[in-house]
Structure 1
Amino acid sequence: MANATGTLSFLHKLVHNQSDTSLEGKVERLHIKNELQNRLLLVTTELNSFSAELDCEGERADQLASYLDERANNRNDVLTVASIAVGAITTIATVIISSDATQNAVGLVGGLLSGGLGGSSLIKGRKVPFNHPRNVLKDIWEVPQQSTIYTPFIWYMLNEKSFSNEHKQGIIRSIRDRWLTLQFDGETEGRKQNLLFGKGGKYKADDLHDRADLLNQLQSSIRSLNQDLQSFVLSVNRLP
């Protein structure tokens, strides 16, 4: 963690300075601690800011998905009621009409209308434009050597094996493997991949729910890193 936060040199100075009990040594130690705290405050702010960005992006996708879900549910309710009404009217009409030929015609037309309305309720909802020029998911999926979205500190922590649970691969690789298996059935390319990891496009409600889910998973990992960082900060604060 000291290497990740850029505080290793400060810690070395503190250890080296511990034996100096003179006034100058104490002043120097206070100066080093102040620089150390400033550095830790900076990286803590970086993590908190990025976590807040993920939260906003996830909320944005969730809100639009909920809107589309509500529109689709209202539409389905109307179509279902209309289908039932047409079916009832058709049944009554075939009973009232005495002509066999007319009965058959009315029954056929009514059945087609009722079936058409019922089938329309099964059609997936509309698409809406949803753009994200700064796509925080992109670099997680593509795993470049250097990120243009993540700060060097966050990118280092996501790639460093020592910050993962099993220490076999970086957090970013674990996240990508999980997405590849659970979200995309092992497919690295496709319409949804291009949509979620590109600059945006026409989203359906399901796509928006998927994007929000990926953002929430990433945010959980960032929060876990923040917990590790805060534990390190507490340890540093206890130094003499």
Structure 2
Amino acid sequence: MANATGTLSFLHKLVHNQSDTSLEGKVERLHIKNELQNRLLLVTTELNSFSAELDCEGERADQLASYLDERANNRNDVLTVASIAVGAVTTIATVSISSDATQNVVGLVGGLLSGGLGGSSLIKGRKVPFNHPRNVLKDIWEVPQQSSIYTPFIWYMLNEKSFSNEHKQGIIRSIRDRWLTLQFDGETEGRKQNLLFGKGGKYKADDLHDRADLLNQLQSSIRSLNQDLQSFVLSVNRLP
């Protein structure tokens, strides 16, 4: 963590200065600790800011998905009621009409209308434009050597094996493997991948729910890193 936060040199100075009990040594020690605290405050702010960005992006996708879900549910309710009404009218009409030929025609037309309305309720909902030029998911999926979105500090922590649970691969690789297996059935390319990891496009409600889910998973990992960072900060604060 000291290497990730860029505080290793400050800690070395503190250890080297520990035996100096002179006034100058104490002043120097205070100066080093102040620089150390400033550095830790900076990286803590970076991590919190990025976590807040993920939260906002996830909420944005969730809200639009909920709107589309509500629109689709309202539409389905109307179509279902209309289908039932057409079916009822058709039944009454066929009973009331004495001519067999006319009954058959009315029954056929009514059945087609009722079936059409019922089938329409099963059609997936509309698409809406949803753009994200700064896509925080993109580099997690593509895993470039250097990120244009993540700060060097956060990118280092996501790639460093020592910050993962099993220490076999970086957090970013674990996240990508999980997405590849559970979200995309092992497929690295496709419409949904291009949509979620590109600059945006036409989203359906299901696509928005998927994007929000990926953002929430990433945010959980960032929060875990933040816990590790805060533990390190507490340890540093205990230094004499």
TM-score, length basis structure 1: 1.00
Residues in 1 aligned to 2:13 and 2:190: alpha-carbon distance in whole angstroms? 52
How far 1:39 sits from its partner (Å)?
Answer: 0.2
Q: Which deviations, in whole Å up to 9, do the C-alpha atoms of 1:13-45 show, x marking residues without a partner?
A: 000000000000000000000000000000000
CA distance in 1, matches of 2:96, 2:215: 59
Aligned partner of residue 146 in structure 2, secondary structure? coil
- Post-superposition shift, 1:163? 0.0
- How much has 1:197 moved relative to structure 2? 0.1
Distance apart, 1:119 and its partner CA = 0.1
Give the Cα–Cα distance (whole angstroms) in 2 for the partners of residues 199 and 73 of structure 1: 29
SS at match of 2:201: strand
SS, match of residue 129 in structure 1: strand
State the 4+ residue runs in structure 1 displaced beyond 3 angstroms: none
Residue 131 (1) aligns with residue 126 (2): no
Q: Unmatched 5+ residue regions in structure 2?
A: none
Per-residue CA deviation, residues 37-64 of structure 1 (Å, 9 max, x unaligned), is 0000000000000000000000000000
The alignment covers a number of residue pairs equal to 240
* Percent identical residues: 98
Query: Please, what is the CA RMSD of the aligned residues?
Result: 0.2
State the 1:219 CA deviation: 0.1
What's the secondary structure of 1:34's corresponding residue? helix
Distance 1:77 1:90 in 2: 20
Q: Secondary structure of the equivalent of 1:43? A: helix
Give 1:89 deviation, angstroms.
0.3
Instruction: Give, in whole Å, the separation in 1 of the partners of 2:19 and 2:182.
Output: 55
Report the CA distance between 1:4 and its aligned residue: 0.1
Task: Give secondary structure in 2 for the equivalent of 1:169.
Answer: coil
CA positional deviation for 1:180: 0.2
The SS at the match of 1:220 is helix
Secondary structure in 1 aligned to 2:129?
Answer: strand
Kindly state the Cα deviation for residue 97 of structure 1 after the two structures are TM-superposed: 0.2
Can you give the 5+ residue segments of structure 1 that lack an aligned partner in the other structure? Answer: none
Separation (CA, whole Å) in 2 of partners of 1:95 and 1:18: 100
Give 1:219's aligned residue.
219
The residue matched to 1:201 in structure 2 has which SS?
A: strand
Task: Report the 3-state secondary structure (helix = DSSP H, G, I; strand = E; otherwise coil) of the residue aligned with 1:130.
Answer: strand
Give 1:104 shift.
0.2
SS for the counterpart of 1:57 is helix
Structure 1 CA distance for aligned equivalents of residues 176 and 155 of structure 2: 14
